[in-house]
Amino acid sequence: MTELSRRQLFRTAAGAGAGAGMLTLGLPIDVFAANAPQHLVVQSGALNSLDPAHQISAGDEGRVAILISNALLRYAAGENFALQPDLATGFEVSDGGKTYTFKLRQDVQWHRGYGKFTAKDVKFSIERILNPETKSRNAGQFKDVAGVEVVDDYTVRFRLKEPSAVFPHAVATFRGGFLMSEAAAKAQGEEFSKTVIGTGPFMVEKAVLDQEIVLKRNDAFFGPKPKLEQITFKVIREGGTATLAFDRGQLDLIDINDREATDRYAKSNKSRLMISNVTTGLYLLTFNLSKAPFDKKEVRQAFQHAINKKAIVDAVYAQRGRVVDTVMPPGVEGYTQVKSYDYNPEKAKKLLADAGVKDLKCTLTVPTTYQREAVMIQAQLKQVGITLEIKLIDRPTWFRSLGQSDHDIIWNAHFRAPAADAFLFPSYHSSNHPPKGTNCAFYAGADDLIDKARVTFDDKERAAIYAEALKRIAEDSPAIPLTLELNTYVVQNYVKNLSTYRVPENAPALEMASIEK
């Protein structure tokens, strides 16, 4: 069995009988150890890998990775996304921004007796990801690295191909930034991706990626010691199944993504609804500027005026969403207010007419998950004379499509590290036009600003450049930002110390939580 469906849940419930006591969803009670002291049970989606070389999700995989692994730097929890020391104690920049030298902590042990963390592990981790034989989808995170040198056991030096002011984000707590034990990776072979050896506050006890991940407290952790003894991430994709298990006390923390569930739990006094006040995720519609008539700015701006973002957010997202006008979320370096396009169908019609576009027919490629939003957009565009066909695809096909050129308009989701370059360079720089990258807008109008920011080491000057880039992109409209994704969770009242959200996983920080019944 890989994961629980709602049908399986009810079938199990029907067969349990009145005298069976609390339902266990067909699983042993200890799997849902919500009643056990300091055991937290959390809903999760299926994970692709725990190996930093192959992680693809800052959400489900990131929530586990941050507990078992560390990076040289990490993002501060809360509303400030500043980089902080993690396994590094600090770094120096030299050679005009082409050399970064990191000093490392000397009190860090790898899990399960794999020895002390040293500079050799840093060199191994980065080179392994860059090695073509690894086939890491996160190799681009270190594309600027020319070489990694071990200066001594606790000093490591990165030599870059060209100056970079944004390189520190590459070695932070995001996907490939999590570091690996050379000794463990070589000893475990292919098993390393399932039972990663890290340095974090928890270590992997069990990992069946499409069923559950069980983490055990690491009493040798170099930082603050967790109160929780164990955290179990239980794979339950179907929202109805998760909420039923939560209501029965079999899950301690679940994420919810529909308005009805959000409204219901907001009124409950048996649990707490947690809506993040920080996020590095947003949804957009991205035009293909290589296709007519989307090569005309007036047409793209017409779409901006034809779509009622607030109506979509109110109907679908409610408290979980917030209308956004920029292609980057608030809190990220350089964020600024940009040109806002009011909902104005008449203005949209005029822009289309001025562009010589009449009776436009086009297709929106969208994952099935976002069908409701697509239908609303279809109806809104119809009011200005645009016939929108909806092409529904599954998520794997969608991920591939973001690096291709077949679409007219495509539903896009940017969930990135909290760095301006992470949002702008992959999606709006011409060097990342498909098939080389995921600039599926085929936009090239801000290359000069993005390039300039990457080599500007003064923080204020760099932020100002990013702000200018955001304003230019808003004017050119290669994409229509729709809404921020404010991740929403429900937690049992007996779970305490779970109020601070952290990016880029956009989830509550679990390591200092406790259970008080």
For residue 429, what is the domain's CATH number?
A: 3.10.105.10
Residue 253 lies in a domain: yes
Q: Coil, helix or strand for 231?
A: strand
Same domain, 194 and 303: no
Q: Scan for tokens 């109907």, then name that residue.
A: 315
Residue 263 lies in a domain: no
Question: Residue 48 domain-assigned?
Answer: yes
Q: Which neighbouring-strand residues pair with 415?
A: 281
Asked if 271 and 34 touch (Cβ cutoff 8 Å), the reply is no
The residue count for the chain: 517
Q: Which amino acid is at 185?
A: A
pLDDT at 486 over 50: yes
Give the per-residue pLDDT at 367: 93
- The sign of the dihedral angle between the CA atoms of 405, 411, 417, 419 is positive
List the alpha helices (DSSP H) in 199-327.
239-247, 259-266, 297-306, 309-312
User: What DSSP string describes 198-209?
Assistant: --SSEEEEEEET
d(C-alpha 52, C-alpha 278), whole Å: 24
Residue 393, beta-bridge partner list: 367
Per residue in 34-52, pLDDT (tens digit) is 455 899 999 998 888 888 9
What is the mean predicted confidence (pLDDT) over 67-71?
A: 96
What's the average model confidence in pLDDT over 164-184?
94
pLDDT 10s digits, 188-221 = 887 877 789 999 999 999 998 889 999 999 999 9
What's the confidence (pLDDT) of residue 25? Answer: 43
Same domain, 475 and 500: no
- 79 pLDDT band (50/70/90 cuts)? confident
The domain of 371 spans 281-485
Q: Model confidence over 320-372: pLDDT tens digits?
A: 899 999 999 998 999 999 999 999 999 999 999 999 999 999 999 999 989 99
Residues 217 and 297 in one domain: no
The string of pLDDT tens digits covering residues 385-436 is: 999 999 999 877 888 898 899 999 999 999 888 899 999 999 999 999 998 8
Residue 503 lies in a domain: yes
Answer yes or no: do 217 and 321 share one domain.
Answer: no
pLDDT score at 2: 40
508 close to 231: Cβ distance less than 8 angstroms: no
Give the containing element (helix H, strand E) for 507: strand 507-508
Q: How far apart are CA 186 and CA 5, in angstroms?
A: 37
Q: Is the pLDDT reported for residue 309 higher than 50?
A: yes
